[in-house]
């Protein structure tokens, strides 16, 4: 949530800031604003509630002065409604010469605000953020040292925050501080950048530095310094961004989500590239630090939220089946509050697209403090989860801009397949030849996904016919069960339709009471070709709901004639290893949710009330 951009350099600052905020729209927001110090040395601020386009139009109609330093922000409301007054930046001090933007929550703001009110400070907003602006401005008025004033105040703040500050009286400097919220530096030639992620500045530079916990950035046009909250110098390694700005553009697609669904053959292939050889052998050099410990694992706990948790559920089946390690999947926000039992033989796998999900980050910190090993599966270079884990498995899905996850989800599942094969090899639980055969099946997935995508128009037509549906039910068994839950989640997120995913075996234990004439039921059908297949049992479930008037749509494997016999419509996926079917079965469900949302005239890429990365608890 919230997008942050900072810039010092020779380019038109307003253009740099607005361009960066545009590329950060995917994070979710309800207002936007910028501050610059113009070439005459005056601070100018403009901010508006609503979409970024409203702010852009405002500035077009009444331009800000030419400037070479500035900060910009897209806000997702926490304290205070999404209004012009509550939008960022916020100004501090009686002179209003200081401008501040903030991502996160200042948990002790009420106490600090009371202190300021007693001192006679007037507030212009309902936000927690404005407290920090006034505190820093007051300290600067006393000392005339912006860096020391900033350092002193951020040490007083509790909670999660990334804060950027600049002051009219120090017109060459942007300061930033990070605690439990993302911040990245972009290094240019004669210019430097700050962003909540690299999308903010990837158009201008591919050189970046990830800022660590409780660190301050001192940013000037030709110099960048990092120090901790106590003022001690810190050295951070630089990394190169491996995608360019064009990868985050729609490229002619109707929405970012449509593009990202179509990207999946590429993203799945990229996730396997260099890790899976043509003979099906897995090589995960990223896990070298855990090599000696993997054979001794006694359990794995996966922590994740939302879509990532459903990817973890699929991974659970594969790891237990192939590597014979007990696996549990925990919601990150519940995990550490139930006093879980962790040992040095426990591997905690944290799954997050952004690598900044606060609930998951706090869960992994708890795990490390308890002596467990931590592996992160994420999609973002330099993310906090990646830096704090013992090892990281990047998904290489490329930038995912739409709030509702698609290609990151399938890439996460494929990463878990690779992890399961790696564990099975390390633990010697399956014959190498068997593991290689599964690996060869994995290599077929990109072409198989492309084949599923060819049915997109048919799925779209069906989805449009359901735009007035009040509720949709999803059923699945085995690895199809988490896919049913993911399909339901996509419909909730995008079309605002009540939807639920159930294990098909639970049908007679309660959910069948929901079935009435015309009720849409989408069923993820297991392969009939697996010796241990649950296909016949799920076909029986289809017959049960059809007999009660349900309209059944099946996602089934090619050649499954029984599914066609009892369903109003079937979308087929290519024959594949039973464990790998989720990567194929979920694609029609993604398209279904996308097209139903579009048919209702909704914003597919930025669903209401949602943010791409949840960086507060």
176 forms beta bridges with 164, 217
φ, ψ of residue 210 in degrees (nearest 5): -85, 130
- Where helices occur in 285-395 by DSSP H, the ranges are 306-323, 332-335, 358-369, 384-388
Strands 159-167, 98-106: pairing kind = antiparallel
Count of other CB atoms within 10 angstroms of residue 581: 27
Radius of gyration of the chain (CA): 25
| Dihedral-angle region of residue 547 (phi above 0 means left; psi in -120 to 50 means alpha; beta otherwise) | alpha
Q: Are 50 and 29 in contact (CB under 8 A)?
A: no
329 forms beta bridges with 302
Q: Are 161 and 179 in contact (CB under 8 A)?
A: yes
Whether 612 is catalytic? yes
Question: Collapsing DSSP states into helix, strand and coil, what is residue 177?
Answer: strand
Question: Collapsing DSSP states into helix, strand and coil, what is residue 433?
Answer: helix
Cα 525 to Cα 554: distance, rounded to the nearest angstrom: 7
Tokens of 451: 């084949």
Residue indicated by tokens 């090589």: 283
Q: Are 230 and 148 in contact (CB under 8 A)?
A: no
Greatest alpha-carbon pair distance for the chain in Å reads: 80
Cα 434 to Cα 280: distance, rounded to the nearest angstrom: 10
Residues 47, 97, 316, 612: which is the catalytic one?
A: 612
Residue indicated by tokens 């001690």: 232
- The burial of 443, by beta-carbon neighbours within 10 Å (0-12 exposed, 13-18 middle, 19 or more buried), is given as middle
Q: Are 3 and 24 in contact (CB under 8 A)?
A: yes
Tokens of 430: 């399956």
Instruction: Spell out the residues 6+ positions from residue 503 whose beta carbon is closer than 8 angstroms to its own.
Output: 475, 476, 477, 481, 484
Residues 2, 47, 316, 378: which is the catalytic one?
A: 2
Strands 67-75, 3-8: pairing kind = antiparallel
Nearest residue to 307 (alpha-carbon basis) of 20, 593, 23, 518: 593
Q: Are 10 and 190 in contact (CB under 8 A)?
A: yes
Q: Are 524 and 480 in contact (CB under 8 A)?
A: yes
φ, ψ of residue 38 in degrees (nearest 5): -75, 175
Cα 401 to Cα 256: distance, rounded to the nearest angstrom: 6
315: enclosing H helix or E strand: helix 306-323
Whether 305 is catalytic? no
Residues forming the active site: 2, 612
């Amino acid at each position: 949530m919230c997008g942050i951009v900072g810039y010092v350099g020779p380019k038109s600052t307003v253009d740099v800031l607005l361009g960066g905020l545009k590329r950060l729209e995917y994070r979710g927001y309800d207002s936007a604003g910028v501050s610059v110090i113009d070439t005459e040395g005056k601070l100018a601020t403009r901010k508006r509630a609503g979409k970024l386009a409203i702010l852009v139009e405002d500035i077009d109609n009444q331009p800000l002065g030419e400037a070479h330093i500035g900060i910009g922000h897209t806000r997702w409301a926490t304290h205070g409604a999404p209004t012009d007054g509550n939008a960022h930046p916020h100004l501090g001090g009686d002179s209003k010469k200081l401008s501040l933007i903030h991502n996160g929550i200042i948990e002790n703001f009420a106490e600090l605000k009371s202190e300021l009110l007693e001192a006679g400070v007037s507030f212009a907003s309902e936000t927690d953020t404005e407290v920090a602006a006034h505190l820093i401005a007051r300290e600067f008025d006393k000392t005339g040292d912006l860096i020391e004033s900033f350092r002193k105040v951020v040490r007083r703040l509790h909670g999660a925050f990334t804060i950027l500050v600049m002051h009219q009286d120090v017109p060459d400097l942007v300061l930033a501080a990070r605690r439990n919220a993302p911040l990245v530096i972009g290094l240019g030639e004669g210019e430097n950048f700050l962003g909540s992620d690299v999308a903010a500045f990837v158009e201008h530079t591919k050189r970046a530095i990830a800022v660590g916990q409780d660190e301050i950035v001192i940013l000037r046009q030709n110099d960048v310094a990092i120090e901790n909250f106590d003022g001690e110098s810190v050295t951070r390694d630089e990394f190169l961004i491996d995608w360019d700005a064009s990868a985050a553009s729609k490229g002619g697609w109707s929405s970012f989500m449509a593009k990202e669904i179509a990207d999946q053959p590429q993203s799945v292939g990229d996730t396997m590239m260099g890790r899976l050889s043509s003979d099906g052998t897995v090589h995960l050099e990223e896990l070298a630090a855990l090599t000696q410990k993997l054979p001794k694992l006694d359990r794995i706990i996966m922590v994740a939220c939302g879509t990532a948790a459903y990817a973890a559920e699929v991974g659970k089946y594969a790891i237990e089946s192939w590597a014979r390690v007990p696996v549990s999947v925990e919601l990150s926000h519940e995990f550490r509050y139930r006093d879980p039992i962790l040992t040095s033989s426990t591997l905690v796998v944290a799954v997050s697209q952004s690598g900044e999900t606060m609930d998951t980050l706090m869960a992994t910190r708890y795990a490390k403090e308890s002596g467990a090993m931590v592996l992160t599966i994420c999609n973002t270079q330099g993310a906090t989860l990646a830096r704090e884990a013992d090892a990281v498995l990047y998904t290489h899905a490329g930038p995912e801009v739409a709030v509702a996850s698609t290609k990151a989800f399938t890439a996460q599942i494929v990463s878990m397949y690779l992890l399961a094969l790696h564990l099975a090899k390390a633990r010697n639980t399956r014959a190498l030849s068997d593991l290689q055969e599964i690996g060869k099946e994995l290599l077929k997935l990109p072409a198989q996904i492309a084949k599923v995508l060819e049915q997109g128009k048919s799925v779209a037509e069906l989805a449009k016919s359901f735009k007035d549906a009040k509720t949709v039910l999803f059923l699945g068994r085995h690895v199809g069960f988490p896919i049913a839950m993911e399909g339901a989640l996509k419909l909730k997120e995008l079309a605002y339709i009540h939807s639920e995913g159930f294990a098909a075996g639970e049908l007679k234990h309660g959910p069948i009471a929901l079935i009435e004439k015309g009720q849409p039921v989408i069923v993820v059908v297991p392969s009939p070709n697996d010796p241990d297949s649950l296909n016949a049992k799920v076909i029986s479930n289809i017959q049960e709901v059809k007999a009660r008037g349900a309209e059944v749509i099946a996602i089934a494997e090619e050649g499954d004639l029984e599914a066609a016999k009892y369903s109003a419509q079937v979308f087929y996926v290519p024959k594949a290893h039973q464990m790998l079917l989720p990567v194929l079965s979920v694609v029609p469900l993604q398209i279904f949710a996308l097209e139903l949302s579009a048919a209702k005239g909704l914003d597919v890429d930025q669903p209401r009330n949602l943010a791409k990365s949840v960086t507060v608890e």
